Amino acid sequence: MSLSPSIRKQYISVIAVDALCITVSVACLALRLYVRRFITGRLGYDDWLLLVGVNEAVSVFPYIIGEVFVRAAYAVFYLRIIPRQLGHKWQRYILIAAFALYATVQTSTAFVYLFQCGAPSNLTRAGATCIDNSTVGILFNNIYYLDAAFDWLLAFIAIRVVWTNTMNQRTRMTVVSVILFGCCAGMLAIAVIPMLHYASVFSSSGSENLALSIGVDMVINFESMLAIVCISLAVVKPLISKWLDNDGPRSGSRRWLVPEAKDSVPESTMMSIKCSGGKTPFYGRGSVGVIPKFEPISSLKFEPMSRISIIEC
């Protein structure tokens, strides 16, 4: 049976949307990996998780598993901007516990969906005994509730931490904007829920169900694309700074995302330093910093290395 012109047009729209989402997602991921590898000089756990998540999202593997990896990259990113030394342990515990719950429920749902008819090959076999469609529909709808809840929970905690710690206004607004942009993916996850409810309750004809399925597919693809784009663009500021300020490679990749820990460092462990170019020194712990230019070098009084905090300009 040939497809009607309207159905054929909808299929073309799906192909166009899928191609757009894949192109934008892969391009943003490539830009992120370029910045992390060649500008900042290192790849983190969130980079590898995002790479796996994008591969899952554009391949034939279940969509749910791809979302788990993308949200894992989100969780690692948010843990980066909530450092341990600033006394935010409970926020970190909430993020870890929330992702553990999210990953467990989503992975379980993916396995139920995959094996709902026994062997996966039975999904396309007529007359196969499967779990009731209403039960599968409820489980499938829950993943969008979890997507939205997890996105907004992580964003709320991260915004609160960033807003209450030492950070200049421009950097703070940049970080908050990136986080809020990521919440758009959660909004799309919410938008899918009434569409699925309408499809299961009110629609009757096959063509209407097909149209709703196509609409849901488009919204899902845009949700995944926004999540990937947001987490990818979150680390490109070193590249922009290199273009605009010509600061050179190897500038700190985390410095603009991590609240300054100056207040947590004892005064006895700090050095009074004037950086060249009128820049303000950054005091922190636990990572290798960029050695600044000192003026004048003869006036410095160095403390023992075990007591000196990392300093960046």
User: To which residue do tokens 């290798």 refer?
Assistant: 288
**C-alpha pair distances (Å), 227 with each of 57, 78, 178, 218, 269:** 11, 13, 11, 14, 41
**According to the model, what pLDDT value does residue 251 have?**
43
Stretch among 181-185, 206-210, 214-218, 265-269 having the lowest mean pLDDT: 265-269
What's the pLDDT at 185? Answer: 77
Say what the pLDDT of residue 110 is: 80
Pairwise CA distance, residues 215 & 238, whole Å = 38
For residue 311, the surrounding DSSP H or E stretch is strand 310-312
Structural domains in the chain plus CATH codes: 5-242 (1.20.1070), 261-313 (no CATH)
213-247 residue pLDDT tens:
777 778 877 887 887 887 777 777 676 667 666 54
* Average pLDDT value for the chain: 68
* Each residue's pLDDT tens digit, 63-103: 677 778 888 887 887 787 776 666 678 888 888 999 999 98
pLDDT in tens, 33-48: 888 777 777 777 777 7
